[in-house]
Structure 1
Amino acid sequence: MPQDDFLIRKFGAISLYQIGRKNLSELSQFVFKMYSHHYFKKYQWLPDDRELEHMIHGDINQFEDSVYFGFRNSKQELLGTIKATKRTNNIVFPIEYEFNISIEQIIEKESLEVNEIWHLGRLAIDSNALRLQNSSFTSRQMLHILLIHSLGVINYNPNSLMIAESDVLIYQIFQDLGINMQIVGELRDCLGSPTYPVILTSDNMKKWLEKNFLEKEERQKFFI
């Protein structure tokens, strides 16, 4: 696993990295800042510093089982992030303890063949900062590339199931992008935002990735 950031690809003035262990706290703080800004603006949610501590602690503890991606500008400031985490016996995800959902029961109910379970999270994009860059890159393009890489990691091995807690707006954006996430529980507030518990099956990921091509050789660069 990388200690320092690993450069994946340059897109003009901004670059995509796999985030290393040394910069996990920076990533957690960036995501917390973005959540705080957007969810206060939309829902008047006031952040709690304990949430930030929980996020930093979780990212550090899950590092060995996760792949973190981040876009940086020429000053090495984060502009967008996402995280994919493989489920192990030591990891419990919010969909389980916040929504009281049994992933095993979902798998049985949907008659899915599942070899690995992955969680998608830490999705955040600083649209205002992105607009100030010397780049034609849009927030939607950044999201698209973050998803190609993170879903490429999740779906690298056959029969992987993605789970997530999706803000209602993000859920609609994913649908617009052609990502057919399935709602598996009731809407609840999570970090101040109305949120769905969702899954994305291996078949749906594969179909989407085939339409949004990522070289297999590029996927193999990632450390996990």
Structure 2
Amino acid sequence: MTETPHRADLMDRIRSRRAVVGVIGLGYVGLPLALAAVEAGFPVLGFDINPARVEAILAGRQVINYLPSEALPEALATGRLDATTDFTRLAEADAVILCVPTPVTRNRDPDLSYVRASAASAAAVLRPGQLVVLESTTWPGTTAEVVRPLLEAGGLTVGEEVFLAFSPEREDPGNAHYGTRTIPKVVGADDPASRDVAVALYE
């Protein structure tokens, strides 16, 4: 694999914990992931369309009942956790992780409207050197067929200037023995560069 400056810089930022991790969707998947990233030493910027939820998170209130009550206050105290409803701030993130719902439709297919909206928000401010990861539960091919065209519409090429991967969420809400940092993760991508930077981030 030929090394590119964008991949090399992103890998360096990840390894040195300088990469800003953006998490879209601060629910039962996204919020524990954001807290785990803060615990690992990364600056984290969370995004949610619900202003009340963002306000509660920034106030350190317990918004998920099975998370320890001290989890949010401790993360906020590090100075590395922020949350917002302003999706233009996705430009600040080096890694953008989509943790949005995919509710089942009447035809028992996943509703991808939140995935499309989140990917479009990322695409609107996409810059070279960013990684986008889809974690939402969906059908095989969503990353390549739905997310990638949105990201590449602005002229950036996945695998060269920007990176795209899929890593299905593995949360087991309320499990006292296994959590975000101890449940094994699966990571897939259509190109080695995207795979490698995603693996480096999750490691």
**Shared topology, TM-score over 0.5?**
no
Task: Give the TM interval when normalised to the shorter protein.
Answer: 0.3 to 0.5
The structure where strand makes up a greater share of residues is 1
Per the normalisation by structure 1, the TM-score is 0.31
The structure where helix makes up a greater share of residues is 1
